[in-house]
Amino acid sequence: MSYITHLNWFKSTLSNKALVERLKNISFVITDVDGSLTDGTVHFDADGEGDRMYSPQDGYAIRLAIESNIQVAFLSGNAGASIVSRARKLRIPDELIVLGAKDKRVSVQKLQSITGFTSKQTLVFGDDCLDAAVKEADSDIFFAMPSNGIFYLQPIADCVSPANAGAGSALRHILDLILYVQGKHIAQHLIQKALETSYEKKGTDSYSFASAA
């Protein structure tokens, strides 16, 4: 049951006080696109232009983050008009949309220079080697991954989302967590209520819920 899985992940993550303190400092989120905001598949039309499927829940969380003064950037090793269109729809400035990046370590430094954010204020969300290389080069950067990110890179991640990329809305969970620990979430009271809820398994797919109080 996804509710239980995600609730337990949220509770477990909040119990890591050192990690929570780091998340309180995050003001800049740099996210990969293919395999991080999508399931990694790209559809091509007759002209060869790639089309991508994005999660509306990820999009909503990105908008919430931006409205809460957390800057968001797109950093992709690929290129495509659909990436630019998606970023602009979410009100991400053009200077924070970086496509065709071959060395994301250099690109992250340039984005930090543009925004003025330090490494301790920066979170990079990605699923593959180019993304993990950023963390290996700068341990102060917070590195997060979707649950279906490359398995041998997950051990170096500071946090792994409980959800898959794309339709699973992996980034949404990370942004929910950041906004909550910073006291900025639009559903702050609802998240708190969920955290205070206990549950008891009654059968294969049946649960009863009650206030922990």
> How far is it, in rounded angstroms, from Cα 58 to Cα 10?
17
pLDDT tens digits, one per residue of 129-173: 999 999 999 999 999 999 999 999 999 999 999 999 999 999 999
pLDDT tens digits, one per residue of 57-94: 999 999 999 999 999 999 999 988 889 999 999 999 99
> How far is it, in rounded angstroms, from Cα 83 to Cα 115?
21
Residue 52 lies in a domain: yes
Average pLDDT for the chain: 92
48: left (phi over 0), alpha (psi -120 to 50) or beta: left
Sequence-distant (≥ 6) Cβ neighbours of residue 120 within 8 angstroms: 22, 25, 140, 141
Of residues 110 and 212, more confidence is placed in 110
Residue 132 lies in a domain: yes
Q: State the average pLDDT over residues 103-116.
A: 98
Q: How many domains does the structure of the chain reveal?
A: 1
Residue 28 lies in a domain: yes
Strand order of the β-sheet with 122-125 is 97-98, 71-75, 28-31, 122-125, 142-145, 159-160
What is the span of the domain harbouring residue 61?
Answer: 18-186
> How far is it, in rounded angstroms, from Cα 162 to Cα 11?
12
Give me the pLDDT at residue 80, please: 85
Give me the pLDDT at residue 213, please: 45
Residue 41 lies in a domain: yes
Query: Is residue 108 pLDDT above 70, yes or no?
Result: yes
Residue 5 lies in a domain: no
Read off the pLDDT band of 2 (50, 70, 90): confident
Residue 6 lies in a domain: no
Query: Is residue 189 pLDDT above 90, yes or no?
Result: yes
What CATH number has the domain bearing residue 50?
Answer: 3.40.50.1000
- pTM score, whole prediction: 0.91
